[in-house]
Amino acid sequence: MTTVVEPALPEGIESIAAARAQEPAERVLLKGNEAIAEAAIQAGCDAYFGYPITPQAELLEWMARRMPEEGRAFVQAESEIGAISMALGAAATGARVLVSTSSPGFSLMAEGMSYLAGSELPVVLVNVMRGGPGLGSIGPAQSDYLQAVKGHGHGDYRVPVLAPSSIGEAMALVADAFEIAERYRTPVIILADGIMGQAMEPVRPVYRMPPRRVADWALTGADGRPPRVVKSLHLRPEDLEAHNDALQLKFRTIAAAETRWAGESLEDAEIVIVAYGTAARVARTAVAQARSLGLRAGLFRPISLWPYPSEALDRATAGARAILVVELSAGQMIEDVRLSVEGRIPVLFLGRTGGMVPTPDAVVAALRGAWAKTPPPERATA
């Protein structure tokens, strides 16, 4: 069974799920990149800026056709730097803005992310990750976890990172991402991978347009009011520290309210797999196989990678003998898993890189290995 934890929201703020539309009965076959693009349009995206890069190009192409149809802004920028800078300008006027890219392009957007965070501007960025480092490959990867979660640009800031593991979930998270971005005036990253972007799967398209908030900071022309300035420069140390203190308070608020995760078969799990995105899809199959073999395995799937669901993970693994982290990387999220359990139980790892994806059989084999390597949980011996 799947449990999605709805975060506790600050008083006076409506539930993110409350406005979610009724699910349609019809299922349609959708490609990830195109589904994300259309979900953004249906969520009221006013402007899209992008640059061609595999494996996210279909998202740009979808927007190139659909945004003009809707009378909204589309620009194919001269670079990813240009794209995120255009996003900064559009967002400064209060527009709902989407940008998308893949790993090498995300590196170029790092500068803009820092300025968006410093200027407190809401923009949703989709990173359809591919293999790296450098030009790497065009295959799926999760090797931008540390970049997305721990820091892209310079300075003391955090950005909410949402990781869908199905196309339907990606569509729902697009609307949620706009809402989080505007509620907290922050960029939000949707971290997908090449499989999420390229795969097609049947989904019930659920579209939702988050309500518009009054943006009393947005640039509209100083007509009958004092001028407004959207900026990140605070040359006086006292001013910049006060600005940073306010940002940190905001990050703590987000951490308290926007942590998301889902779990499967956790109740009696002795080995808990922790995986997100495509790796979680593989892990889910592996857990079912392991269960059919009598192995008590479970899956903990972080949906928000920042804020990381550390407390939930700690609680969910209280009775487990070990954790197996599965990633399409050489081991990046594993650092957050280890921080979550603080050495209480062994944290093992299975990863593939370069566009390779672990098979369910490989995950089951790793689960068997985990059983062999770790003592039974204390509750079993007590």
Partner 1 sequence: MTTGTAPAAPRRVIAGRPASLEDRATHYCPGCGHGVVHRLLAEVLDELGLAPRTIAVAAVGCAVFAYDYLHVDFVEAQHGRAPAVATGVRRVRPDAFVLTYQGDGDLAAIGTAEIVHAAARGERITVVFVNNGIYGMTGGQMAPTSLLGQKTTSSPLGRDARLAGYPLPITEMLAILPGVAYAARGSLATPSTIGKTKAMLRRACEVQAVDGGFGIVEVLANCPVGWGMTPVESIAHLAVVAETYPPGVLVDRGRA
CB of 84 to partner 1, least distance (A): 8
What's the rounded Cα separation, in Å, for the pair 174 and 16? 12
Q: Between 67 and 323, name the residue whose CB sits nearer to partner 1.
A: 67
Any residues with CB less than 8 A from the CB of 6 and at least 6 apart, and which? 15, 16, 17
Of 14 and 78, which CB lies nearer to partner 1 in the complex structure?
Answer: 78
Give the nearest distance from C-beta 195 to partner 1 in angstroms.
31
Smallest distance, Å, CB 90 to partner 1?
4
Q: Based on CB atoms, which residue is closest to partner 1, 232 or 244?
A: 232
Q: Choose between 39 and 83: whose C-beta lies nearer to partner 1.
A: 83
Q: Reduce the DSSP state of residue 78 to 3 states and report it.
A: coil
**Nearest distance in Å: CB 72, partner 1:** 8
> What sign does the dihedral 53-107-42-161 (CA atoms) show?
positive
> Are 187 and 326 a contacting pair, CB within 8 Å?
no
- Is residue 330 within 8 Å of residue 336, measured between CB atoms? no
Nearer to partner 1, 68 or 376 (CB): 68
Q: What are phi and psi of 264, to 5 degrees?
A: -140, 135
Return the number of the residue (231 or 315) whose C-beta is nearest partner 1: 231
Q: Do β-strands 28-31 and 200-203 pair in parallel, antiparallel, or remain unpaired?
A: antiparallel
The one-letter amino acid code at 307 reads P
Closest separation in Å from C-beta 73 to partner 1: 4
Token pair 């309500």 is at which residue?
Answer: 211
**Min dist. Cβ of residue 36 to partner 1 (A):** 21
Rounded least distance, CB 50 to partner 1, Å: 12
According to DSSP, the residues that pair with 98 across neighbouring strands are: 48, 124
C-alpha 59/C-alpha 62 separation (Å) is: 5
Query: Are 35 and 205 in contact, with CB atoms under 8 Å apart?
Result: yes
Q: What is the nearest approach in angstroms of partner 1 to the Cβ of residue 138?
A: 24
Q: Which is nearer to partner 1, 111 or 314 (CB)?
A: 111
- Cβ contacts of residue 361 below 8 Å, gap of 6+? 286, 289
Round to whole Å and give the CA distance between 208 and 2.
22
Which residue lies nearer to partner 1 by CB, 92 or 328?
A: 92
Output the smallest distance, CB 222 to partner 1, in A. Answer: 5
To partner 1, the closest distance from the beta carbon of 270 in angstroms equals 50
- Is 39:175 a contact under the CB 8 Å cutoff? yes
- In the chain, the amino acid numbered 45 is C
- The 3-state secondary structure of 126-140, one letter per residue: EEEEECCCCCCCCCE
For partner 1, give the closer residue by CB, 64 or 206: 64
> Can you give the binding site for partner 1, defined by CB under 8 A?
46-47, 49, 73, 75, 77-79, 81-83, 85-93, 95, 97, 111-112, 115, 119, 219-224, 227-233
Q: Which is nearer to partner 1, 21 or 229 (CB)?
A: 229
Cis ω before 160 (30° cut-off from 0):
no
